[in-house]
Amino acid sequence: MTATTKRANFDLSPEQEELLANLRAQLAASSTKEAVLRAAQLTTLLLDEVKQGNRLFVGKSPSTAVRVAIPELEARAHGQWRWLVERPHPWRRQLWVKGRKLLASAVWLDALTNAMAPREAATNWDLPLEACEEIFAYCEANKALIESEANEERQRLKRANVDVEARAPA
């Protein structure tokens, strides 16, 4: 072993050992080390692409391709958001609250409508205070996106003959 190399030792559970063996077989790698290094190279390549704003699609042809969202990669690529993630959606681009089917803007707009501070919104939505602070910061920084998606949703509802001007009785 030369001075420029470093030995990496770590414990593996039986499940992790099986996962690495499967990866090695799938990649037809000559060793576990080679499989791990190939996986690291692929992950780095994907991260670089996501950082540049590219999206990953899979399909047998371009017309049948479907977007694949990999939250572990996209969260790292955006870096600044701990509590927010992208989700696959045909036209929405705003972020969602991690672990919930909840748009960040839903929390923020509810808080604005009801004059709630982040702490009150956190209690109302059963979220950590840090998550609500992040949601508020994200939404403030992306008002134009949130507004354009709200307009898109209104137009889609109108095309579906849904009365978007109807008000609930007081």
112 and 49 within one domain: no
Rounded to an integer, the average pLDDT of 54-68 is 82
Q: Would you place residue 51 in the very low, low, confident or very high pLDDT band (cuts 50, 70, 90)? A: confident
For residues 30 and 83, membership in a common domain is answered with no
Q: Whole-angstrom Cα distance, residue 31 to residue 19?
A: 14
Q: Residue 37: give the domain boundaries.
A: 14-54
144-161 average pLDDT score? 90
**What are the start-end ranges of the H helices in the chain?**
14-27, 32-51, 71-78, 104-113, 118-125, 129-141, 143-159
108 lies in some domain: yes
- Quote the pTM value: 0.52
Same domain, 93 and 131: yes
Residue 29, classified by CB atoms within 10 Å of its CB into exposed (0-12), middle (13-18) or buried (19+), is middle
**47, 84: one domain:** no
Whether 99 maps to a domain, the answer reads yes
Give yes or no: residues 91 and 29 share one domain: no
Domain co-membership, 96 together with 152: yes
**Do 83 and 50 share a domain, yes or no?**
no
> In this structure, are 48 and 83 located in the same domain?
no
Q: Which two tokens stand for residue 96?
A: 């969602």
